[in-house]
Amino acid sequence: MLDFFTIFSKGGLVLWCFQGVSDSCTGPVNALIRSVLLQERGGNNSFTHEALTLKYKLDNQFELVFVVGFQKILTLTYVDKLIDDVHRLFRDKYRTEIQQQSALSLLNGTSDFQNDFLRLLREAEESSKIRAPTTMKKFEDSEKAKKPVRSMIETRGEKPKEKAKNSKKKGAKKEGSDGPLATSKPVPAEKSGLPVGPENGVELSKEELIRRKREEFIQKHGRGMEKSNKSTKSDAPKEKGKKAPRVWELGGCANKEVLDYSTPTTNGTPEAALSEDINLIRGTGPGGQLQDLDCSSSDDEGAAQNSTKPSATKGTLGGMFGMLKGLVGSKSLSREDMESVLDKMRDHLIAKNVAADIAVQLCESVANKLEGKVMGTFSTVTSTVKQALQESLVQILQPQRRVDMLRDIMDAQRRQRPYVVTFCGVNGVGKSTNLAKISFWLLENGFSVLIAACDTFRAGAVEQLRTHTRRLSALHPPEKQGGRTMVQLFEKGYGKDAAGIAMEAIAFARNQGFDVVLVDTAGRMQDNAPLMTALAKLITVNTPDLVLFVGEALVGNEAVDQLVKFNRALADHSMAQTPRLIDGIVLTKFDTIDDKVGAAISMTYVTSKPIVFVGTGQTYCDLRSLNAKAVVAALMKA
C-alpha cells in the first residue's frame, strides 16, 4: 500500500498529489529535496526518511520530479514500474501545458488525473501478483549429476585432503621404475612387510602404496626432529658462557630513571619556559585568521602558460574545425550519448583518490540530472557533463550545516560554560598535532584553552601534549595576558578511564574559567569494538559541543570505511536515545597529495558533514579552511 504519490516541478510547485494515508507527505518530500536533490546525491533513486522509503524519478526535459512513498518494512516490487507508467502517462497527457509553461492551466487540468493513477496502480498491483509457478529442479540440472561416479568413490581410511595431495604427487612423478619408489631408500621387508617394489615384478595396490609412503614420511621427519634436538642441546652450553655486551658511554641506557625526561607536574601549575626558537615553532602567516586552501602550484601555472602560447600561433581554420567537432545541436541527451564521457570521468575521479563506489554514484547522479535535458546549439556532451559534475562536486563540498567555532565559543561564553571539542580517528592520522594547531588558532583569537589528555593508551601521548603546551605557553606567555594562563594541560597519567578524565577536565575548566576544552582521545581502528565502545561512552557521558573526526588525505576507499564504521559504532554503542555522531572533519597531511584531493569528496559525501579544518604542514600556522572551488579545480585538472 502506498502512503503517497506526488508530482512537482523543480521550482517547487506541486502539480498533483495522491494521499494513501492521513499523514502529510510534506516532511518526507522536503527531506528528500534537502538531503538528495539539493546536495546532488541522485546516484541512487531511493531515499529513506524515518519509517518511509521514497523512490523518485527526474524528468530533466520538462523539469519535473515524481516521488512515491511507502513503509520501508514493505517490499513492493511494482513501485518502479508504477513510477515509469505514471511518468509516461502524465507527460503524454499534459505535454502541451508543460511546454507552454502555463502553471495555472496545468494545475486546473490535473484534477482528472486521479482516475488514471488509480487505474495504473491497480494494474501494477495485479501484475505483481501474477507469477509463474516455480518448478522443482530435476536431478539432471543439479551439479551433482554433472560429477562422474569415480569422483564420488572414497577409499576407506583415506581423507579427502590426503587424496588430493596423492593425486598431485602422482601427476608430478609418474611412469616407469624411476618413480618415487625407486628413488627413495628401500624399507626393510621385515619391518614393513611389503614387497620391495616394481623391480621385483610385484605391482603395489593403492592402499599399500599409501601405507608405504606414510612410513617413509614418518622415518624422514623423525630423523629431522632428532637433529633439531641435538642442535638445541649443543647450543645450550654456549649460552652459559656468553660474553656480556659492552656498555658504551654515549650509547644510551635502558634504565627507567635515565629515559624519563618528564618533570613531575600537577594540574594547575604552568609549564616551564621554552629554550627553542619560537619563530620556527610558530611558522609564518596570520595565526588568528584561517586562510583559504590553495590547491594550485607554480609548476601548474607555468605549464598552463606554456600550453597557451602555441595554441595562439595555430591557424584559425584548424581551431574552427576543432571547435565545431562534437557539437550536439538542439537535442535531448540520452544515456548512450553520455556513457563514454561518464566512463572517462569515473576513471579520472578514481585516479584522483575518490573512493570507487562514490565515483560511480557521482557519475550516476550526473547522468540522472542530464538525461532528457535539451542541449544548446554550441555545446558538446563532454563540456556539459564536465560542467554538471563540477557543480555537483562544489555542492557536495558545501554541506547543509556550516561549523563556525568562534561564534559558538562566544555563545558558550555568554552562558558561562566552556566549549568542549572532542577529537577522534584512527591511529597515526595526526590528532594531537592538529589539536595543537587548533589550540594556537584559538589562542590567537583571544580564547583560553584547556587540553585534556584522554589518550591513556599510547606511550608518549601525554608527553607529546605537554611539549605542545609548553611551546604554546612560550608563544602566549601569561605576562602578556595580564598574568592569565592561556593554555594548560590536564592529565591523569596512563591506564585511566578516558571518560572520567574528560569529565574532570570539563569541571576543572568551568571552575578555572577556561573558554575551550580540547579533548584528545586514543587512536583506534574502526573494527575494534571495545575501543569504539569506550569512545561512545566518552561522548555520551560528556556531551561535547563538537565531535571532529580526524582523517588523513592520503586514503582512498579506506576513508569511506572509516567514517561509516565510526558513525555506526557511535550509534550502536551509545546509551542515548538519539546518539551523537560525527559533526565535522579535520583533513590532515593535505600538503603531501599534490592534486589527488579525492579524499575530501569521499568524506563529505559519506557523512554530509563539512570539512572544518585542513592541515597543510608542520608548524602551528599550517591550518587552512576548505575552499570548495579550489579543491574541485584540482580534482578536475587532467
Long-range contacts of 593-597 (CB under 8 A, 24+ apart): 593/353, 593/553, 593/554, 594/297, 595/295, 595/300, 595/352, 595/634, 595/635, 595/637, 596/351, 596/352, 596/353, 597/295, 597/352, 597/353, 597/553, 597/631, 597/634, 597/635
Task: Report d(CA 524, CA 489) in Å as an integer.
Answer: 22
More confident position, 579 or 535: 535
Local structure of 160: helix, strand or coil: helix
More confident position, 425 or 105: 425
CA dihedral 596, 598, 599, 604 (to 10 degrees): 150
**Which whole number is the average pLDDT over 501-508?**
94
Lowest mean pLDDT among 41-50, 59-68, 524-533: 41-50
Q: Which residues contact 252 (CB under 8 A, 6 or more apart)?
A: 258
Q: pTM value?
A: 0.65
Task: Report d(CA 512, CA 450) in Å as an integer.
Answer: 10
Task: Report d(CA 351, CA 346) in Å as an integer.
Answer: 9
Sign of the four-CA dihedral 26, 28, 29, 35 = positive
> Cβ distance 589 to 615 under 8 Å?
yes
**Which whole number is the average pLDDT over 557-570?**
85
- Centroid of chain to Cα 260: 39
Task: Give the per-residue pLDDT at 208.
Answer: 80
- Work out the mean pLDDT of the chain and round it to a whole number: 77
Per-residue pLDDT reduced to its tens digit, 49-107? 888 899 988 887 788 899 999 988 888 888 888 998 998 888 888 877 777 765 566 66
Is 163 a residue whose pLDDT tops 50? no
Confidence of residue 182 (pLDDT cuts 50, 70, 90): very low
> Cβ distance 374 to 65 under 8 Å?
no
Is 209 a residue whose pLDDT tops 90? no
**Which whole number is the average pLDDT over 620-630?**
88
Task: Give the per-residue pLDDT at 13.
Answer: 84
Q: Where are the alpha helices (DSSP H) in 140-205?
A: 143-146, 149-152, 160-172, 180-183, 189-192
Lowest mean pLDDT among 41-55, 60-74, 432-446: 41-55
Task: Report d(CA 46, CA 80) in Å as an integer.
Answer: 10
**Which whole number is the average pLDDT over 495-501?**
91
Tell me which range, 106-115, 296-305, 386-395, 575-584, is most confidently predicted by mean pLDDT: 386-395
> Cβ distance 476 to 409 under 8 Å?
no
**Which whole number is the average pLDDT over 94-123?**
75
More confident position, 533 or 43: 533
Retrieve residue 486's grid coordinates.
592561556
Task: Give the per-residue pLDDT at 68.
Answer: 92
Confidence of residue 412 (pLDDT cuts 50, 70, 90): very high
Local structure of 179: helix, strand or coil: coil
Confidence of residue 507 (pLDDT cuts 50, 70, 90): very high
Confidence of residue 562 (pLDDT cuts 50, 70, 90): confident
Per-residue pLDDT reduced to its tens digit, 316-361? 444 444 444 445 456 678 888 888 999 999 999 999 888 888 899 8
Task: Give the per-residue pLDDT at 169.
Answer: 46
Task: Give the per-residue pLDDT at 508.
Answer: 94
Per-residue pLDDT reduced to its tens digit, 215-270? 888 877 765 555 555 444 444 444 455 566 666 655 555 555 544 555 555 565 55
Task: Give the per-residue pLDDT at 410.
Answer: 94
Which residue in this structure is represented by grid cell 626558537? 277
H or E element in which residue 64 lies = strand 64-71
